[in-house]
Structure 1
Amino acid sequence: MGRGRAKAKQQKVARELKYSTHFADLDALQRELGVSKPDSSGAGPEPDAVDDEYEDWTGTDR
């Protein structure tokens, strides 16, 4: 006995989380975590550099 009140409160909190719209300040979160913004120069190394890294394993040359 006594579980009904706790369960009702959990359901209320779950409904609030599900149906309410929360605003997240992502810039503030990045500053807090110390994450730098990605540079706009591109995404990752050049494909040729990645291929050269694995040439030793495959034994093939291009």
Structure 2
Amino acid sequence: MGRGRAKAKQTKVARDLKYRTHETDFGALASELHGGDSGKKDDPVDPELLEKWSDVIEPSRD
């Protein structure tokens, strides 16, 4: 017992999601998913950090 109120609320939310018009900013979504401009690969690496992890990280073979 007591499921009627919960089911009514779920139905209300489902109808709201189904029929409401959504204004989606696809540009913002794409930049969020791809990391935006903050994930540059050309960032300088601290030499002390490289020395600290040099025995763990194998050198890249390019």
| TM-score normalised to structure 1 length | 0.54
1:1-62 alignment, distance < 5 Å: 1-34=1-34
Paired amino acid for 1:2: G
Q: Which runs of 5+ in 2 are unaligned?
A: 37-62
Counterpart secondary structure, 1:23: coil
The number of residues matched between the two structures is: 36
Question: What's the RMSD between the two structures over aligned residues?
Answer: 1.7
Q: Which runs of 5+ in 1 are unaligned?
A: 37-62
Paired amino acid for 1:11: T
Structure having the higher helix fraction is 1
Identity %: 69
Name the CA distance, whole Å, in 1 between partners of 2:23 and 2:35.
Answer: 20
> CA offsets per residue over residues 12-55 of structure 1, 9 Å max, x none?
0000011100111000000001179xxxxxxxxxxxxxxxxxxx
Divergent runs of 4+, >4 A:
none
| TM-score normalised to structure 2 length | 0.54
